[in-house]
Amino acid sequence: MSGGSGVIEVDHLTKVFSGRKAVDEISFTVQKGEILGFLGPNGAGKTTTMRILTCYMPATAGTARVAGYDVFEESIEVRRRIGYMPESPPLYPEMTVDSYLHFVAKIKGAPSAQRKSMVDDVMEKCAVSDVRNRIIGKLSKGYKQRVGLAQSLLNNPEVLILDEPTIGLDPKQIFEVRSLIKALAGDHTVILSTHILPEVSMTCNRVVIINNGKVVAMDTPTGLTNQMKGAEKIALSVDGPMSAVVDKLKSVQGVISVKVEGEENGGPTNYTVECNLRTDLRRVLAQEIVSQGWGLLELRGVSMSLEDVFINLVTQE
Amino acid sequence: MKNILAIWQREMKSYFVSPIAYVVLTVFLFIAGMFFYGALSYVVQSTMMQAAYGQGAPPADVPGIVSRQFFGTLSVVLLFMIPMLTMGLFAEEKKRGTIELLLTTPVGNFQAMMGKYLASLTFLLLMLLASGVTISALFVYGQPDWKPILGGYLGLILYGAALLAFGLFISTLTENQIVACVIMFGIILVLWLISLLTAGAQGMLRDVLNYLSVIDHLDDFIKGVIDTTNVTFYLTFAFFGLFLTYRSLESLRWKS
């Protein structure tokens, strides 16, 4: 897709499960040091894409390269360079946090001389040092999640692939994990999946929105919201008979719905008009209202939150 | 090699933090001891009767008879213990999702398999070693021939190695330990009782069925005879089990 300089290059990736396309010709590139947010409703194909990138399962068609290596042909090379945190943290409940992390460090090929400092370091980063000698099975969900995250950071991988890393954490921990992920970018390239929208706008440089296995949008979080700013929702304040105003607004082509904000009180009333994607009706609406002799007191485009963009995109078809 | 060792170590630890290891060891040693005592007292009683009636028969080889009985019992008890040792090896990883960790780290399928296989083999060796305490009683009170005893142990190790490899394979097929255990029981019982089927069979079929009976190949070992046919049988069996395990692990990627 691009010139081939990305750390992660996904090219027309397709995965078919018994006749159903879970991932359908997805292509994207992630540059070094970037945090890419993978956004989509449940079952959109996020986890499947991540599993292909981590060499857990092969693709049906298309190619993916991580750090310059093909995930299928050079799987071991790819695995040496990734840290992966699956949806449910892959923990051995009977082990202590300390011995678990040492085990993972070992199978990731960390040199034995550095293993201890490496384990201490990730425990510090993920704030699990205080439970290092506890049995994993007895830990709370939040701790388990962070031990799972700690595991993915071991051996300082070039690429981090995190499948819903903040699930099950309390707000304070979510904040900490997000800052941790932000701090990791630069040295590491991160892909994280989530269906929590603010998470994307807070942590990611770029967003890929997927739905039904297809990429429906790809941009920066602000780009995505700006792209449609003022177009879809328009707030109006009109001094005029309410029902007539509503009827008039509804009759304008491209208007989907008109919502009255507040009560009829004789004075000016606030309306929110929703219109078709990527059409700007501000000029038309203003003309219509003025031509009726009503007072147009206010008219402005309402910028959509990422949430609105998301809902729009995934419910479009 | 380092990866195999790491997996082996983790697997050994997990045997001993779960109750399975202790239950298997205790039951195994209890049954072994009970049958050892039974065999010994029976043989001692019958030789005493023989001596009392003075029929002039040559003195019976008490330790020999006892050790043969003992190994026969161990081989049957092992049939029931081996599924317990292998049922969780991969099934549990699949259930917990840790298989996703193993298959996305630089550990290859072969290394994961060998680490687990060697761990189960180590546990088997521990069981057999512990049973040695019982049989060493023979050395305290008599001068048994050491060849059948050594042969018996070698036979049991090979026999265990073969069955463990198969159990490992079964464990890759499901994420439910109980299912893995029951399937393994089924297979083991068929292989054990296969010689009963030979009664009705003829010619080639009879030979093949006889050859497949896992337990029959132990007889020579217990008599102190190490026949390469039997060694080859068990090694082939183990190799085949590992081969199936390896293939099954490869196919996991495509199925999941």
pLDDT digits (tens, 9 = 90+) for A141-161: 889 999 999 999 998 899 999
A3: pLDDT strictly greater than 50? no
Q: Looking at CA atoms only, how far is residue A245 from chain B in angstroms?
A: 58
What is the rounded distance in angstroms from the CA atom of residue A258 to the CA atom of residue A185? 43
The SS3 assignment for A158 reads: coil
- Considering only residues A289 and A305, tell me which one the structure prediction assigns the higher pLDDT: A289
Test A57 with B13 for CB contact under 8 angstroms: no
Interface residue of B11, B18, B100 to substitute, partner A, most A CBs within 10 Å: B100
Interface residue of A53, A106, A119, A145 to substitute, partner B, most B CBs within 10 Å: A106
Q: Which of A1-15, A186-200, B103-117 is least confident?
A: A1-15
- The 8-class DSSP code of residue A45 comes to S
Tokens of B38: 């039974």
Give the CA angle between residues B199, B202, B207 to the nearest 5°.
Answer: 85
Work out the percent of chain A whose per-residue pLDDT is above 70.
Answer: 90
Q: Confidence band (pLDDT; 50, 70, 90) for A296?
A: confident
What is the rounded distance in angstroms from the CA atom of residue A55 to the CA atom of residue B102? 11
Q: Looking at CA atoms only, how far is residue B167 from chain A in angstroms?
A: 21
Residue B240's pLDDT is 95
Q: Looking at CA atoms only, how far is residue A152 from chain B in angstroms?
A: 9
Sign of CA dihedral B225, B227, B232, B233: negative
Please indicate if any CB of chain B lies within 8 Å of the CB of A132: no
Q: Where are the alpha helices (DSSP H) in chain A?
A: 46-53, 75-80, 97-107, 112-125, 141-153, 171-184, 197-203, 221-226, 242-251, 282-291, 306-315
Sign of CA dihedral A278, A283, A286, A288: negative
* Strand order through the sheet with A189-194: A82-85, A159-163, A189-194, A35-39, A206-211, A214-219
Residue A115's pLDDT is 92
Residue A314's pLDDT is 66
For A58, which of B13, B105, B254 is closest by C-beta distance?
B254
The full set of domain ranges for chain A reads 8-221, 233-315
With beta carbons under 8 A apart, name residues in chain B contacting A84. Answer: 100-101, 104
- Considering only residues A284 and A233, tell me which one the structure prediction assigns the higher pLDDT: A284
Test B10 with A94 for CB contact under 8 angstroms: no
Interface residue of A92, A101, A154, A164 to substitute, partner B, most B CBs within 10 Å: A92
For A106, which of B6, B254, B256 is closest by C-beta distance?
B6
What is the rounded distance in angstroms from the CA atom of residue B179 to the CA atom of residue B167? 12
Question: Residue B8: which of B92, B119, B101 has the closest Cα?
Answer: B119
Residue B223 neighbours by CB distance under 10 Å = 17
With beta carbons under 8 A apart, name residues in chain B contacting A103. Answer: 6, 9-10
Test B96 with A93 for CB contact under 8 angstroms: yes
Listed as ranges, residues in chain B with pLDDT below 70 are 54-60, 255-256
Exposure of A236 in the CB half-sphere (CA atoms within 13 A): 29
Residue A305's pLDDT is 66
- Considering only residues A108 and A219, tell me which one the structure prediction assigns the higher pLDDT: A108
Residue A232's pLDDT is 66
Size of interface A-B (CB pairs under 8 A): 72
Test A106 with B2 for CB contact under 8 angstroms: yes
For A76, which of B7, B108, B253 is closest by C-beta distance?
B108
Please state which CATH number belongs to domain A233-315.
Answer: 3.30.70.60
What is the rounded distance in angstroms from the CA atom of residue A20 to the CA atom of residue B116? 35
Residue A230's pLDDT is 44
Residue A21's pLDDT is 86
Residue A271's pLDDT is 86
In the predicted model, what is the mean pLDDT of residues A266-293? Answer: 80
Amino acid identity for residue A278 in this structure? R
Please indicate if any CB of chain A lies within 8 Å of the CB of B10: yes
Please indicate if any CB of chain A lies within 8 Å of the CB of B107: yes
**Range A8-221 has CATH code 3.90.1150.10:** no
Give the CA angle between residues A149, A165, A313 to the nearest 5°.
Answer: 155
Tokens of B83: 């599924």
Q: Confidence band (pLDDT; 50, 70, 90) for A2?
A: very low
With beta carbons under 8 A apart, name residues in chain A contacting B90. Answer: none
Q: Which residues in chain B (12-41) have CB-CB distances under 8 A to chain A? A: 13-14, 17-18
Please indicate if any CB of chain A lies within 8 Å of the CB of B119: no
Please indicate if any CB of chain A lies within 8 Å of the CB of B100: yes
With CA atoms as reference, the chain A residue closest to B96 would be A90
Q: Looking at CA atoms only, how far is residue B115 from chain A in angstroms?
A: 11
Interface residue of B104, B249, B254 to substitute, partner A, most A CBs within 10 Å: B104
What is the rounded distance in angstroms from the CA atom of residue B198 to the CA atom of residue B203? 10
Instruction: Name residues whose C-beta falls within 8 Å of residue B95's C-beta, 6 or more positions apart in sequence.
Output: B175, B176, B177
With beta carbons under 8 A apart, name residues in chain A contacting B2. Answer: 106, 109
With CA atoms as reference, the chain B residue closest to A60 would be B254
Test A107 with B3 for CB contact under 8 angstroms: yes
A119: pLDDT strictly greater than 70? yes
Tokens of A70: 């093909």
Residue B227's pLDDT is 87
Test A92 with B98 for CB contact under 8 angstroms: yes
What is the rounded distance in angstroms from the CA atom of residue A202 to the CA atom of residue A45? 22
Kindly compute the dihedral angle of the four CA atoms of residues B231, B233, B237, B240, in this order, to the nearest 10 degrees.
Answer: 100
Test A90 with B101 for CB contact under 8 angstroms: yes
Question: What ipTM is given for this predicted complex?
Answer: 0.85
Sign of CA dihedral A89, A94, A100, A103: negative
A202-245 residue pLDDT tens:
888 888 888 888 888 888 877 776 665 545 678 888 888 888 88
Residue A227's pLDDT is 60
Test A95 with B98 for CB contact under 8 angstroms: no
With beta carbons under 8 A apart, name residues in chain B contacting A54. Answer: 104
